[in-house]
Amino acid sequence: MRLFLALALLATPALAQTAPPASPRERLIAADANKDGKWSKEEWLAAGRRDMGFAMIDADKDGFVTQPELMEGMKRMQAMGMTPPPQ
Ligand SMILES: [Ca+2]
Ligand SMILES: [Ca+2]
């Protein structure tokens, strides 16, 4: 029984990595692998986001999407009549 419990505890982090979190926003936050508060293209794609979206939202083209860029990008997309992914 104790062994089973230990195995279950060991298995939990692996499960947390493979099971997709509830919302796209949570997926995006989880995809910030190095927790620097911004997304590289690799991290962005790992969250299941589109390459095109990255190019649109990375306003200063430094290769990273920051949280303010994300907010502004969503607003721009809405202003253009595009529907941002649900948050
Ligand atoms: Ca990052
Ligand atoms: Ca940027």
Give ion ligand 1 contacts, CB < 5 A.
32, 34, 36, 43
CATH topology of domain 23-79: Recoverin; domain 1 (1.10.238)
Whether 4 shows a pLDDT value over 80: the answer reads: no
State the distance from the centre of ligand 1 to the C-alpha of 59, rounded, in angstroms: 17
Q: Which residue has the higher pLDDT, 82 or 13?
A: 82
- Residue spans of beta strands (DSSP E) within the chain: 38-40, 64-66
- Residue extents of the structural domains in the chain: 23-79
Q: Which tens digit of pLDDT belongs to each residue from 8-54?
A: 666 655 555 556 556 888 888 999 999 999 999 999 999 999 999 99
State the distance from the centre of ligand 2 to the C-alpha of 56, rounded, in angstroms: 10
State the distance from the centre of ligand 1 to the C-alpha of 28, rounded, in angstroms: 10
Report the C-alpha gap between 70 and 54 in whole angstroms.
9
Residues 41-68: what's their mean pLDDT?
Answer: 95
State the distance from the centre of ligand 1 to the C-alpha of 63, rounded, in angstroms: 11
